[in-house]
């Protein structure tokens, strides 16, 4: 197969070119199953041709429900090869939210993994990954996507009840500087977090750099550690709480193959980080970024040993500019910043100004360029699996017949992880019933850790709910 020149090669072309060079090499492991590079390449071409036979190509949307399987990876990449814009939907989102996202991205097809329950999606074309991959023709075909086309639509939280949709367009893959170490080249990436999140993107990068991947359905500290030992995993992406749990079992396994444990998602507890560094060695990289901004800063292994720097999120990543504006808000500019919000020019204009993106996070830079996060200008609770806006949960609680008032807020635990909490006013309201009510209407990601039932909400002098007092009440229980 002939591809564009190296300088103009798209990410999907770079991956296929890499697979061409090593067809017999094992690329992916999932349990006892092994998938070679040649087999995975065949799956990608089958998916692309099957979509083409359905009349799908440039300017068509294909949505895939996430799962950590070779089939889901191949279908998403195959859809990109066919020229389609792709969107990976969160599995933990309630079906009503998934349907709304399908409408938002104008998906011409919704592809489900084999283990997904059947969905009533009247009027929306649905198929399974197996149906697409059963296509008989796996012969190569050129990429139908072009530089500047919409490649991926990614999702983040939104105050309207739906995540905002972020546009990532196709650009030529940047050439690596051979003089700099590349932690992804020739690596083995373990994926144990949802494919729709950062770990999925990192896996695709490693696969295009002569690397391989280990797929686990979810995080379990012992299962992850055993997989690292068995497959000599070099790279992994974790949330901070996952990192703490992995460190706790590290003495029971040989984890010496690890060279990059990338973690992020929310503020990590410094004491737990020191413990993890002591157990895992100089392999911890703290990543600070956003869907809109891409990568912003990195705290490198040596920084974890410096008490002055361990509480920061590190220094700007290569090619990233950081400025503190508007009384403390973090603004960033880089090639990783999103192109726009999907079909929302007004919000795009508010968020992107002269190439600079305002993050909604507050912070400050020290004289050495280390960035510290001090809070958020936007109301948002960062939980495992995504972002939750208080208003989304409040609106659901207020639909319950026993609730007359509701306020939702985030509370940081001792391990640095944030969780959803709620306080309501309503005679006869049952906390457990209200938790189930939220999950049923919004999904597991929105589950409150606790619901306080009060006679009245505490208010500030401005007659606003006093979240600080409510947080103190939760912490005192």
Judge contact between 47 and 75, C-beta under 8 A: yes
- If you average pLDDT over every residue of the chain, what do you get? 89
Q: What mean pLDDT comes out for the span 233-238?
A: 97
Residue ranges and CATH numbers for the domains of the chain are 1-172 (3.40.50.980), 383-476 (3.30.300.30)
Q: Using one digit for the tens of pLDDT, what is the confidence trace for 336-347? A: 999 999 999 999
Using the CB atoms, write b or e for 239-268: b if 16+ within 10 Å. Answer: bbbbbbbbbebbeebebeebbbbbbbbbbb
Q: Using one digit for the tens of pLDDT, what is the confidence trace for 106-137? A: 999 999 998 887 666 667 899 999 999 999 99
For residue 376, give the nearest of 469, 288, 270 by alpha carbon.
288
Give 466 or 111, the one with higher predicted confidence: 111
Structure tokens at 43: 């799956």
**Highest mean pLDDT out of 21-25, 153-157, 195-199:** 21-25
pLDDT beyond 80 at 427: no
Q: What mean pLDDT comes out for the span 176-197?
A: 82
pLDDT beyond 90 at 90: no
Residue 200 makes CB contacts below 8 A (sequence gap 6+) with: 66, 73, 88, 191, 193, 194
Residue 451 makes CB contacts below 8 A (sequence gap 6+) with: 421, 422, 423, 424, 429, 431, 434, 435
Q: What mean pLDDT comes out for the span 72-97?
A: 92
Q: What mean pLDDT comes out for the span 247-261?
A: 97
Q: Using one digit for the tens of pLDDT, what is the confidence trace for 373-388? A: 876 676 778 887 778 8
The pLDDT assigned to 179 comes to 58
pLDDT beyond 60 at 103: yes
């Amino acid at each position: 197969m002939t591809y564009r020149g190296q300088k103009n090669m798209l990410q999907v072309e770079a991956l296929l070119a890499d697979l061409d060079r090593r067809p017999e090499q094992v690329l992916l492991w999932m349990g006892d199953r092994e998938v070679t590079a040649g087999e995975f390449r065949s799956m990608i071409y089958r998916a692309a041709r099957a979509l083409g036979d359905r009349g799908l190509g440039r300017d068509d949307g294909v949505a895939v429900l996430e799962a950590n399987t070779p089939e889901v990876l191949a279908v998403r990449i195959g859809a990109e090869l066919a020229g389609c814009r792709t969107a990976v939907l969160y599995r933990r989102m309630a079906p009503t939210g998934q349907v709304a996202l399908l409408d938002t991205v104008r998906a011409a097809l919704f592809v489900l993994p084999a283990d997904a329950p059947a969905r009533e999606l009247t009027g929306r074309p649905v198929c399974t990954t197996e149906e697409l991959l059963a296509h008989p023709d796996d012969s190569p075909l050129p990429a139908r996507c072009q530089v500047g086309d919409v490649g991926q639509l990614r999702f983040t939280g939104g105050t309207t009840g739906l995540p905002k949709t972020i546009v990532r367009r196709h650009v030529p893959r940047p050439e690596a500087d051979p003089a700099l170490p590349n932690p992804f080249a020739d690596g083995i990436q373990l994926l144990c977090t949802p494919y729709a999140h950062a770990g999925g993107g990192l896996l695709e990068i490693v696969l295009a750099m002569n690397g391989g991947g280990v797929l686990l359905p979810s995080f379990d500290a012992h299962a992850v550690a055993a997989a690292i030992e068995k497959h000599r995993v070099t790279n992994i992406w974790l949330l901070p709480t996952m990192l703490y749990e992995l460190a706790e079992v590290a003495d029971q396994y040989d984890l010496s193959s690890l060279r990059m444990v990338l973690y992020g998602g929310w503020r990590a507890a410094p004491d737990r980080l020191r413990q993890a560094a002591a157990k895992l060695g100089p392999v911890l990289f703290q990543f600070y970024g956003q869907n809109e901004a891409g990568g912003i800063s990195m705290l490198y292994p040596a920084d974890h040993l410096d008490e002055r720097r361990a509480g920061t999120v590190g220094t700007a990543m290569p090619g990233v500019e950081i400025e503190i504006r508007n009384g403390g808000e973090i603004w960033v500019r880089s090639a990783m910043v999103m192109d726009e919000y999907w079909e929302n020019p007004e919000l795009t204009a508010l968020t992107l100004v002269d190439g600079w993106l305002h993050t909604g996070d507050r912070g400050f830079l020290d004289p050495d360029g280390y960035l510290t996060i001090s809070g958020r200008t936007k109301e948002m609770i960062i939980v495992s699996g995504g972002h939750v806006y208080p208003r989304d949960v409040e609106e659901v609680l207020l639909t319950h017949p026993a609730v007359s008032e509701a306020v939702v807020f985030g509370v940081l635990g001792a391990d640095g992880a944030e969780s959803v909490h709620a306080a309501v006013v309503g005679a006869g309201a049952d906390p457990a019933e209200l938790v189930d009510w939220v999950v049923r209407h919004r999904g597991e990601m929105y589950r409150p850790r606790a619901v306080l039932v009060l006679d009245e909400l505490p208010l500030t002098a401005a007659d606003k709910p006093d979240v600080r007092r409510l947080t103190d009440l939760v912490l005192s229980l």
